[in-house]
Structure 1
Amino acid sequence: MKYKLLVLDLDGTVTNSKKEITDHTRDVLIEAQKQGVKIVLASGRPTYGIVPIADKLELNKYESYILSYNGGEIIDWKTGEMMYQKMLDEDVIPYLYECSKKNNFAIITYDGKYVLTEHPDDEYVLKEAILNVMSPKKVDNFLKEIKLPIAKCLIVGEPNRLAELEKEMYHELKDKMGVFRSEPYFLELVPKGIDKAQSLSVLLDELGMTKDEMIAVGDGYNDLSMIKYAGLGVAMANAQDVVRENADYITLSNDEDGVAAVVEKFILNKAD
């Protein structure tokens, strides 16, 4: 099979444990693009948080894409065209806010380079800000000061307690929106039907490709749908157990250039 589309999660996949892309992985991904392979950076991050990696991989020079907010937006990074966008139902946002308040968790959303929150010093808010190279910005009243519509909210907090809230909110909201954790301490709140696989199906239709021509590589819970959907679903060695169990192939870890190894084996056809 000649693979034409390479879909890559960022954190724990393209980036190593220092949140950096090694020179080797960068060089291999640029070589793949030179050979005509289209790359999709598919992440729960807001678009602003993906841009530095997109620029390092020179996506603007080739026909490659950013899929942000777990699939809420798809952007052609060469032309800047917004190819797909879906926003949260505004009516449900007060409920999300109340869930965060009653459980003493921070809720956040995004505005340009800022992470908007009532709790800018919260340790998990700071994790999200650092991860995306964004700045926390304090708002006095989340509901009054956010700019609608928004692509997603994130409730952050201690993993065990957050797991309990996830169950409660999923039961309440499963017919209205997506509720899932991308990390044990990050609870993603996105429009109904939004996940990486669903949005990738839209992109494949637009590009005239099939899922059999796609490789998807990831490590986390929110990568599971695209790994199961892709013609070749690849889990990192450092992936969550359920992700590895559902993958067609397990590559090296993110600290061992696992993405580069996949590209060399299945796209550049270099010997092991």
Structure 2
Amino acid sequence: MNYQILVLDLDGTLTNSEKKITPPTLEALIRIQENGKKVVLASGRPTYGVEPLARELHLERYGSYILSFNGARITDCRSGQIIYNRTLPADSIRPIYEIASKYPVDILAYGPSELISGLQINQYTEQESRINHIPIKQTDHFLDEVSSISNNKFLLTGEPAEIEKVRKEMISHFRGYLNIYCSEPFFLEIMPQNIDKAFSLQKLLNSIGLTADEMICCGDGYNDVTMIEYAGLGVAMQNAQPLVREKADYITKSNDEDGVLYVIEKFM
């Protein structure tokens, strides 16, 4: 298969343990774009948390794409145009907050230039802040703060045992209305219904005239499973969660061994 598009999760996939793209992988990704291939950075991060890596890879020069918020937003890097955008239903925001408030977890929204913490900042809130290079703004007026912004997703952070409890209650309450899942044991993603990486990639492929058979998707986390199953070639990193490796067509080297570079050299 002549693969035309390479979709990459970021943390644990494209970036190594230091959250960096190694020079050989960087050079290879620029080279395939020079040869007409498209690169998509597909992440649970907000758009501004992906943009520094997009600039490193010169996605704006080659007309590649950012798929952020686990697929709730797609951005054309060349034009800066948002070509797909889904937000949480307005009537879900208060009950999400009220359920989260019953547990020792934090609830995060993504402001224009800060991470809005609505409950109790914890180490996982701080981790999300570091990943995205944005400051935390703690507020006692979360519902007022988020009423004026575009809420593509909320993130609940906390100890895995508590996240599992709140996950079960959220799913029971919002079944069929919201998409709720863990991207990590300490991160609970609260998303618009039917939004995941595969759904949004289908939207993107339709808009640019490519098919899933022409696409390689690489990932390591639970939120990468749908795109790995959807892709013509679904690739799990060696460091991926066991379920992700089970679903993949191919297992590459780990993110600390230039696993993405290995995929490029073997398949593109």
Q: How far off is 1:119 after superposition? A: 4.7
Q: Report the counterpart of residue 65 of structure 1 in structure 2.
A: 65
Larger deviation, residues 114-123 vs 228-237: 114-123
| Structure 2 Cα separation of the partners of residues 11 and 83 of structure 1 | 24
Q: Report the counterpart of residue 165 of structure 1 in structure 2.
A: 166
Contact kept in structure 2, 1:90 and 1:148, CA below 8 Å: no
| Structure 2 Cα separation of the partners of residues 188 and 30 of structure 1 | 31
Secondary structure, aligned partner of 2:109: strand
Secondary structure, aligned partner of 1:102: coil
Give 1:26-175 correspondences, 5 Å limit.
26-119=26-119, 121-146=121-146, 147-175=148-176
| Structure 1 Cα separation of the partners of residues 194 and 143 of structure 2 | 24
Q: How far off is 1:155 after superposition? A: 0.7
Secondary structure, aligned partner of 2:152: coil
Deviations 1:88-118 (A, max 9, x none): 0010111111121110211010112200013
Secondary structure, aligned partner of 1:255: helix
Contact kept in structure 1, 2:106 and 2:121, CA below 8 Å: no
Deviations 1:45-90 (A, max 9, x none): 0001000000011111102000000000001001111110011001
Instruction: Letter of the 1:172 partner, please give it.
Output: H
> Does the alignment pair 1:23 with 2:23?
yes
Instruction: Letter of the 1:129 partner, please give it.
Output: S
Gaps of 5+ in 2: none
Q: Report the counterpart of residue 260 of structure 1 in structure 2.
A: 261
Larger deviation, residues 199-208 vs 92-101: 92-101
Deviations 1:226-247 (A, max 9, x none): 0000000000000000000010
| Structure 2 Cα separation of the partners of residues 166 and 145 of structure 1 | 24
| Structure 2 Cα separation of the partners of residues 120 and 51 of structure 1 | 28
Secondary structure, aligned partner of 1:80: coil
Give 1:183-202 correspondences, 5 Å limit.
183-202=184-203
| Structure 1 Cα separation of the partners of residues 78 and 28 of structure 2 | 19
| Structure 2 Cα separation of the partners of residues 148 and 39 of structure 1 | 29
Contact kept in structure 1, 2:121 and 2:138, CA below 8 Å: no
Instruction: Letter of the 1:203 partner, please give it.
Output: L
| Structure 1 Cα separation of the partners of residues 210 and 118 of structure 2 | 44
> Does the alignment pair 1:216 with 2:217?
yes
Q: Report the counterpart of residue 270 of structure 1 in structure 2.
A: none
| Structure 2 Cα separation of the partners of residues 72 and 208 of structure 1 | 20
| Structure 2 Cα separation of the partners of residues 133 and 143 of structure 1 | 24
Contact kept in structure 2, 1:120 and 1:126, CA below 8 Å: no
> Does the alignment pair 1:226 with 2:231?
no
Secondary structure, aligned partner of 2:265: helix
Instruction: Point out 4+ residue stretches in structure 1 off by more than 3 angstroms.
Output: 118-121
Contact kept in structure 2, 1:219 and 1:243, CA below 8 Å: yes
Instruction: Letter of the 1:104 partner, please give it.
Output: P
Q: How far off is 1:249 after superposition? A: 0.3
Q: What TM-score do you get using the length of structure 2 for normalisation?
A: 0.97
Q: How far off is 1:24 after superposition? A: 1.0
Provide the identity percentage: 49
Q: How far off is 1:121 after superposition? A: 4.0
Contact kept in structure 1, 2:104 and 2:120, CA below 8 Å: no
Contact kept in structure 1, 2:105 and 2:120, CA below 8 Å: no
